[in-house]
Amino acid sequence: MLCLFEFTGEFMAWSAMGVGITTVVGSILGYVLYENRQKKLVNAKISDQDVIQIAHENNGKINVAILCANTQLTASEAKIKLKYLSDTGALSIDWKDIFSGGNSYLLKGTKNKLLSNISQSIQEVSKGKSWKEVLPQLADAVFNTNENHQKNIGSSAINRDAQIIQVALENNNLVSASLVCVKLNVSVDEAQKKLEELRQKQIFISEIGENGGLLYRLLN
């Protein structure tokens, strides 16, 4: 009788472990299938070449905000598409954003000025200069790289839509006309007009905030 109880207990323990493993494997498989399905849906909406063309028009750079502004993709769909192109090697991560935040990508072959500046500084050290001499120069290079990047944002084909979407991404997907006004230095009327245009494109939905103000939430 004791042996029977021991056998039954071991059997139940192994059965429970088997159920647990099956559940974990099933969850992983389900997630993989879901990811693949999402990729197929997004790839059916926009081709790789279209995304690459948008990046070409923005000096070889692209991010979620730019892609959303130039297509009908939602923020989550844009993230999926950019990650897919990164995984396939068409895009690479723009490491300059480690200083400014966000996830940006570069077309394959686009020169990353920040990495070039770092590489140049290392070469100068290897030629006899001390890090004490090189570090101020490297700091200036980093500052100038980011400063030039900000100038490009204001003067290139990165349009107002992309800038507003970027503001939303930096504020938990939620913006108001007054926030856009402050961040982008535009009038409240212009900010409100652009937000309404983006809402009509189904990039944002409108909602009422706790204080009764009109807010716009980025669709995911």
Amino acid at site 141: A
> Among 60-64, 123-127, 213-217, whose mean pLDDT is lowest?
123-127
Residue 16 confidence (pLDDT): 60
Neighbouring C-alpha atoms within 13 Å toward the C-beta of 52:
15
pLDDT at 200 over 80: yes
Average pLDDT over residues 128-147: 55
**In the structure, what pLDDT confidence band is assigned to residue 216 with cuts at 50, 70 and 90?**
very high
pLDDT at 150 over 60: no
Give the closest residue to 63 by CA, choosing from 157, 162, 201, 136.
162
Phi, psi (degrees; rounded to nearest 5) at 42: -70, -40
List the beta strands (DSSP E) in the chain: 61-63, 91-93, 104-107, 174-175, 204-208, 214-218
Residue 14 confidence (pLDDT): 63
- Cα 57 to Cα 41, 50, 67, 159, 165: the distances in Å are 25, 11, 11, 11, 18
Average pLDDT over residues 186-202: 88
For the chain, how big is the Rg over CA atoms in Å?
Answer: 25
Amino acid at site 187: S
Give the span between the Cα atoms of 25 and 17, in whole angstroms: 12
Give the span between the Cα atoms of 147 and 153, in whole angstroms: 10
Residue 207 confidence (pLDDT): 92
Residue 39 confidence (pLDDT): 83
pLDDT at 69 over 60: yes
> Among 58-62, 77-81, 106-110, 181-185, whose mean pLDDT is lowest?
106-110
**In the structure, what pLDDT confidence band is assigned to residue 160 with cuts at 50, 70 and 90?**
confident
Residue 113 confidence (pLDDT): 54
Average pLDDT over residues 10-23: 63
Task: Estimate the share of the chain in helix, then strand, then coil, as percent rounded to the nearest 5.
Answer: 65, 10, 25
pTM for the complete prediction?
Answer: 0.52
Give the closest residue to 193 by CA, choosing from 207, 181, 183.
181
